[in-house]
Structure 1
Amino acid sequence: MFFGYTIILGICCGEKEIENMDLLDQILPLVKKPARYAGGEWNAVCKNWGEVDLKVAFAFPDVYEVGMSHLGLQILYGIVNSRPDALMERVFAPWPDMAEKMREHEIPLFALESKRPLRDFDVVAFTLQYELSFSNILYMLDLAGIPLLSASRSEEYPLVIAGGPCAFNPEPIADFIDLFVIGEGEEVINELLDAVAGGKRDKLSRKELLRKAVEIQGVYVPSLYLVHYGEDGAFLRVEPADSSVPARVKKRVVKDFDQVSFPTSPVVPSTEVVHDRMMIEVLRGCTRGCRFCQAGMIYRPVREKERGTVLRQARELVRNTGYDELSLVSLSTSDYTPVQEVVKSLLDEHAAGGVSLSLPSLRADQFSVDLAKEVQRVRRSSLTFAPEAGTQRLRDVINKGVTEEDLLAAAGAAFREGWLAVKLYFMIGLPTETDEDLDGINRLAREVLSLGRKAGVPRGRLKVTVSVSSFVPKAHTAFQWEPQAPFEALKERQAYLSGKVRDRGLTLNYHDAGASFIEAVFARGDRRLGQVLSKAFELGCKFDGWTEYFNLEKWLEAFKSAGLDPAWYAYRSYGYDDALPWDHIDPGISKRYLAREHQRAMEGITTGDCRTGDCPGCGLCGALEIEPVLAGSERDV
C-alpha cells in the first residue's frame, strides 16, 4: 500500500529532489500509522519553493491526529498560503517509534508538504494549547537539529515563534522561543510575516529583526525583557530592557468576525483524527464568567457570525471536503443568538445529503429538546453537560450559572426523547471545596441515572459517564491567586469518588493528579522553569499529555536538579498586590476586575452575563476599543 504514499510524496515535493526520500519510503512501513507522515492530503497546499520568498512551518507539539483536529491550524494555513509571497507547511510531533527511525537514519524533522527539514524554513510557528505539550517543543526542535535555546541560534536557523492560550503566561518557555504572539493569530500574522519578509529583503540580523517585530502590537520578545527576583527567590517583575520596548504587551483581537479569513477548503486528514469533521466557528469569546476558565477571559469579547456567513461557509465546506458531519464550535454554542434558526436551515439544506450536525458545547440551563432533536435529525449521539461542581454552593463560587434543576430537567427530557447516554463533567479541588461537594457529584450522577431508568432506557444500554478533572489555577482568571489542592489531597478525593460512584450504567473517569500538578506548575511558573524543562527533556520527558508517557518521577528529578520546588509554584497563594509572572501580558481584562470576582467567589456571590445583563466592569471594551458583536440583521445568503 505504500506505493500510493510514494506517488503522493513525489507530487508534493515539486521540482527539487528531497534528500532521504528513499529512506523515508523504507521507514514508513515500519512505524505505527504511517499516514501521519505521508502528507498529500486533499486540499493540502504544495507550493514551489523557488517561487516564494517566505517559508513558514506550523508546528503542532502533538501527534497528527490531535493537531489536525485544531481549527487554528487550518485558519492560519489558509491565510498564509493565500499570500503569493509565502507558504505554510505542517509538522507534528512524531510518535516515538518514528522518531527512533529518524534518528537511526539521520533524517531531520520535516514538514509534510515538501518533506523539507524544518531548519530550511524562515519561521517555525508553534501553537501552545496545553502546558504538558511544552516538552514536545524541545523534542521537535531537537529532532529538527535546531538549537533549543533562543540565545544559541545563529542567523542560519529559522525564527521560532509561538502563540495560543498558553502564551498568556509565556515565561516558563521564554528561553526557547524567539517571539510570542499574544492574542488572535489571524489579526497579527500578516503584519508579522511582512516584518520577516522585510527583514530578509533588508538583510537584517536576527536581533535587528526581533527589534523590528516588537513594534507590532501583540508581539512579545523575551530577550528584550529583564526578569528580577528577590533574595528569597520570589518573583519581582519583568521589565523592558530599554524604553523602546513596551512595558506591557497588549493582545490582538479580531474585530469583524464575518470578514476575517476562514478556511472553507481545509486540509482533509488522510487518516482518522480526534475531530474528524467539518468545523465552523460560529462565535468567539464567552462572557458567562466562570471563574476558573482562562478561555472565557482571554478570548473576550463575544463576536458572533451572521447567519448568512455560517450558511455560506457550510455550503463551501460540504462542497470542498466530502465530510458527512458539521460541527458548530465555540466556547458555548448554545449561546449563539440565532442557533435555532441556523441549525434548522443547515439541516434543511444538507440533511438529504447525509450531512449531520453536532453542537459540542450545550449548556444545561439552555438545553432545548427541540434543538437537540433537530441536531440529531440525521444521526444521534450522546449528550454532554458540564455542571462542574456537585452542589449549588460551589457552583455559585465558580459562577457556573447552572442549577441542579437545569441539569435534571435537561437529562430527563433527553432520556424521554430517546437518548441513551449522557456525559457529565466535574472538577475537584476547586477553591472552598468540601466533602459535601464531592458527595454532590455522586448524588447528581445517580439522579441522572435514575432519570434514564424512569424514562424506560434499557438497563444494558443506559450509560452515564462522569469525567472528573482536577482544578488548575490559570493566569488572567479570578482564581489565579488560588493554590492547587495538594497532590495527595487530589488522589484522596479521586479514591473517595471511586468508592462512591459505582452502579450499573455509571462510569467514572478522572485525570492523572500528577499530570495536573505539573500543569499547574507551568501554568503559574516564571522563567526559571526553563532549566527544569531542559532537564526533563534530557531525562526523556515527552508526550506528557499521554498517560503512557507521563512520568512524574522524572519531572521531580528535573526540579531537584534545577534547585526548584514545584510545590512552591502550584501550592502558593498569592495576594492581590503580589507580582505575578504574567503581569506584563495584557489580555484587556483588568486585574481589579479579577480581584473583585475572586472576592465575590469567596462570598458565594454570582456575577451575571453582560450579554443579558449589566456590564460587570471587566474593562475590556475600553482597553481594546471593541465591544461585543451579536448576530443581528439578515444578510443575503
Structure 2
Amino acid sequence: MTLEQVILEEILPRVRRPARYLGTEWNAVRKNWGHAAVKMVFAFPDLYEVGMSHLGLQILYGLVNSRDDFLMERVFAPALDMEGELRKNGLPLFSLESHRPLMDFDVIGFTLQYELTFTNVLNMLDLAGIPYRAEERRDHHPLVIAGGPNAFNPEPIAPFIDAFLIGEGEEGILEILEAAGEVKGGRSRASRQEMLERLLDVPGIYIPSFYRKEYTNDGRIKEVVPLHPRAPERVPRRVLDDLDTAYFPLSPLVPLAEAVHERGMLEVFRGCTRGCRFCQAGMIYRPVRERSPETLLSQAGEIVKNTGFEEVSLVSLSSLDYSDIQDLIPRLAGGCEATRTGLSLPSLRVDSFSVKTAKNLPGRRTSITLAPEAGSQRLRDVINKGVTAGDLIDAVEAALEAGWFAIKLYFMVGLPTETKEDLEGIADLVESVIKVGKGRCHNRKRLRVTVSASSFVPKAHTPFQWEGQDARDLLKEKHEFVRSLIKKSRAIYNWHNIETSFLEACFARGDRDMAAVLEGAFLRGCRFDGWTEHLRFPLWMDSFQAAGLNPDHYATRCFAYDEVLPWELIDSGVSKEYLIREHERALAGETTPDCRQVCGECGVCASLGVATHLVEGRG
C-alpha cells in the first residue's frame, strides 16, 4: 500500500476530526509532481483550524502555485492523537494535497506566528524524519526556512532553521524558490552549502550558521560576528511598496474542518500609524500602504463568487483607519447584501465614529470588542493609546444604539509604570460602561460586559523592548485584585494564563541559548504550549534548569540602551534612536501624534525606500 492509502484507509478512521488531514478542500491545488522544478510545503505549526484562518498561508499558497515551475502543498501540526498514530505505525509526517512525506520536498517553510508554537516546529521536523538541528542535516534533507513576526527575534529557534526570510514574503519566497531551482539544476537535491551561499543574494535572508555571538562574563551579548564575507551586518526586512499590484488570492482555500475563522479575508491595508508603544505589529509592518477602493471591491466580489463564504472580513491592524472608509463600507455592504453575505470587522477603535461606521455593516449583531488597554488616562498616555474614557463611553452608547448588547473590553495588566490606581481605573471604566447599559437598556436586553485581560509581554523592535515583565506572583496578585473589584459590577473577568505569558516573554526577548531550553522542553514532551490544556509549565522549568539558564534573565530583567540585544542584527527599518525617544516619552507620560498627522521620524520610509501610501478619502 502507498503512504496515502495507509493514511486514508487505516489511520484517519482512528483519529478525531479526520477532515484536518484530507487535503480535499474547495480551491485546493494539486499539481503534477513530476512537472514542478521546485517543491515546497508550507508548514503551519499549529492545528488545522488555526492555520486555515491565516491570511499569509492563503497568499503564499496561491502565489507559489500560480507559477508553473513551482509547487506548494500544506502541512499543519498534527493533533496529539494523530501524532500517536504516526509514531506507533512508524509513518512520517505528510503533506495534505498529495500525502507525500515531507522528506520528498525541496523546501519546508514554517510560519512563526506565536512563540509557543516553537516546540511544534521541532516535533513536526522530528515526525518527518528530518534532524531538527540544522547542523545535523545533509544534502538529502529539505531546506528548512522560516518567516513571520517571530522571525524578528529569530535567535531562540535559530539553531533549528537553515534560513529566515525577514518581512513580507510575496517577493522573497519566489526568489528563494528560484534560487533553489538554480542550485538544484537537474539534480534530485541541491547542495546544502551551495544553497545557503546562493541565498545570500536574496535580500531579507538571515542564515544563522553564518553568524557567531560573543558574550561578556555576565552572560550578555558583546557583539555579533559575521562568519561569511557576504553575510550582512544587519538583515533588512522585505516590504512591498504597492499592494494594488501585489498578488492577492481571489480563490482562497475553503476549510473542510471547522476553522477558527471561516470567512473571506479582504486586506484593506498593511501597517499602522497609531504608534502604540507595546505593539510589535505596529512597528514591524510600517509604513501604511492602502489598497484602492476599486481593487478592494473587485477582490471582495471575486472571493465571494469563488468560495461561497457567508461573510467577508476587513483585515488590517485597524481597518477603520482606512482613508476612504466612509465611502468603502457602504459600497462593500451593497455588494454583500446582493449576495446575502455578511461584512465584519475583527475589532473596533474606542470611538463612536468606529461604532457608527460599523453599524452599517450587514449581518447580525453579536458582540463588539473595544480595547482601552489601560484603566487610567495617565497609563493610556504612557502607552500612546490615544483614547479617553469619554471616547469609550461614547462608543458604548453608539454600540447600544446600533443594536449591540454584548461588549468585550480588552485590557493589559503589568504595563510599564503601572500603579494600583491604574488597576482601579479598569474597574471604574467597567462600572461606567455598565451604568450606560442600565440607562439605555430599559425594557430591553441587559448589557453583557466581558473583560479580557492579558499580561504585558515586552516585544522586540518596540519602545518597550527594554522593559521587563512583572514577576509572575505580582501579575497574579494584580489580576486577582482587578477581578475582585470587577466582581462587584457583575461583569465577567477573564485573564490570560500568567505562566504562558511568562514563557512568551522568555522567547520574545531570548537569545540563542534559549534553543537548549526549547529542545529540552520538546524532548520532555511539550506540545501545543499556547493551549492552556496542554501547557506543562513544570517541564519548562526543568528545561531551564537543565540548560543552566535563569528564565528571569530574559523575561523580567530590564535591558540597558547600550546593551546589544539578541535581535539587533534584524533591521525592521525603525531606528533605535526613535525607539529610545519613544521609550523616554513614555516614561515622561508624553504622547506622540498619529503619523498620518505628523511624521514621527521613525526612519522606516528612508531606510527601506518605501513611502506611506494613502488613498484619497471622500468621507
TM-score higher than 0.5:
yes
Q: 2:327 aligns with which of 341, 349, 354?
A: 341
* Alignment-mate amino acid for residue 580 of structure 1: L
Q: Deviations over 1:286-307 (max 9, x none)?
A: 0100000000000000000000
Q: Does 1:33 align with 2:35?
A: no
Given candidates 568, 587, 604, the residue that maps to 1:602 is 587
Match of 1:449 among 400, 418, 434: 434
Match runs of 1:416-495 below 5 Å: 416-456=401-441, 461-495=446-480
Matching residue within 223, 228, 233 for 1:237: 223
1:285 aligns with 2:264: no
**Other structure's SS at 2:359 match:** helix
Query: Is 1:352–2:335 an aligned residue pair?
Result: no
Match of 1:122 in 2: 106
SS at match of 2:434: helix
Structure 2 residue runs without a partner (length 5+): none
Alignment of 1:464-543 (within 5 A): 464-503=449-488, 506-543=491-528
* 1:171-211 deviation line (CA, Å, top 9, x unaligned): 00000000000000012111111101111017552012101
The alpha-carbon deviation at position 436 of structure 1 amounts to 0.8
CA separation in 1, counterparts of 2:302 and 2:183?
Answer: 37
Shift of 1:70: 0.2
Equivalent residue for 2:149, pick from 165, 168, 186:
165
The counterpart of 1:321, out of the listed 307, 330, 343, is: 307
Question: How many residues are matched?
Answer: 616
Residue 461 of structure 1 and its aligned partner are, at CA, apart by: 4.4
Aligned twin of 1:8: none
Comparing 395-404 with 240-249, which one deviates more in the overlay?
Answer: 240-249
- 2:448 corresponds to which letter in structure 1? K
- Where 2:146 maps in the other structure, the secondary structure is strand
Counterpart position of 1:61: 45
**CA–CA distance in 2 between the matches of 1:269 and 1:497?**
39
User: Structure 1, residues 559-579: CA drift from partner, whole Å, max 9, x if none?
Assistant: 000001101111111111111
Choose 129-138 or 23-32, whichever is displaced more.
23-32
| Residue 591 (1) aligns with residue 576 (2) | yes
Give the whole-Å Cα distance in 1 for the aligned partners of 2:262 and 2:579.
37
Give SS of 1:495's match: helix
Q: Residue 413 and residue 505 in structure 1: after superposition, are their counterparts in 2 closer, same or farther (change >3 A)?
A: farther
Name the CA distance, whole Å, in 2 between partners of 1:398 and 1:112. 43
The alpha carbon displacement at 1:23 in A equals: 4.5
Aligned residue number for residue 542 of structure 2: 557
Does residue 351 of structure 2 align to residue 365 of structure 1?
yes
Is 1:249–2:235 an aligned residue pair?
Answer: yes
1:301-312 equivalences under 5 Å are 301-312=287-298
Gaps of 5+ in 1: 1-16
Q: What displacement does 1:405 show? A: 0.6
2:400 corresponds to = 415
Secondary structure of the structure 1 residue equivalent to 2:294: helix
Q: CA separation in 2, counterparts of 1:317 and 1:232?
A: 55
Aligned match of 1:297: 283
RMSD of the TM alignment (CA)? 1.4
Identity over aligned pairs, percent: 56
Alignment of 1:84-163 (within 5 A): 84-163=68-147
Q: Equivalent residue of 1:367, what SS?
A: helix
Contact 1:54–1:87 (CA under 8 A) maintained in structure 2: yes
How many angstroms apart in 1 are the aligned matches of 2:466 and 2:93?
40
Distance in 2 (alpha carbons) for counterparts of 1:62 and 1:554? 20
Q: 1:366 to 1:415 in 2, by over 3 A?
A: closer
Separation in structure 2 between the aligned mates of residue 236 and residue 78 of structure 1, nearest angstrom: 43
Whole-angstrom distance in 2 between the partners of 1:346 and 1:483: 44
CA 1:366–1:75: 2 relative to 1, 3 Å: farther
The alpha-carbon distance between structure 1 residues 324 and 503, as it changes in their structure 2 partners (threshold 3 A), is farther
Q: 1:276 Cα shift?
A: 0.7
Alignment of 1:387 with 2:372, yes or no, is yes
CA 1:342/1:258 → structure 2, altered by over 3 Å: closer, same or farther? same
Q: Distance in 1 between matches of 2:78 and 2:33?
A: 24
8 Å contact kept, 1:415–1:451: no
Counterpart Cα distance in 1 of 2:404 and 2:443? 11
Instruction: Specify the SS of the correspondent of 1:501.
Output: helix
Give the SS at the match of 1:468: strand
Change (3 A) 1:338 1:479: same
Task: Please state how far the C-alpha of 1:159 moved relative to its aligned partner.
Answer: 0.4
TM-score (normalizing by structure 1) = 0.95
1:463 and 1:505 in contact (8 A); partners too: no
Kept in 1, the 8 Å contact 2:382–2:590? The answer is: yes
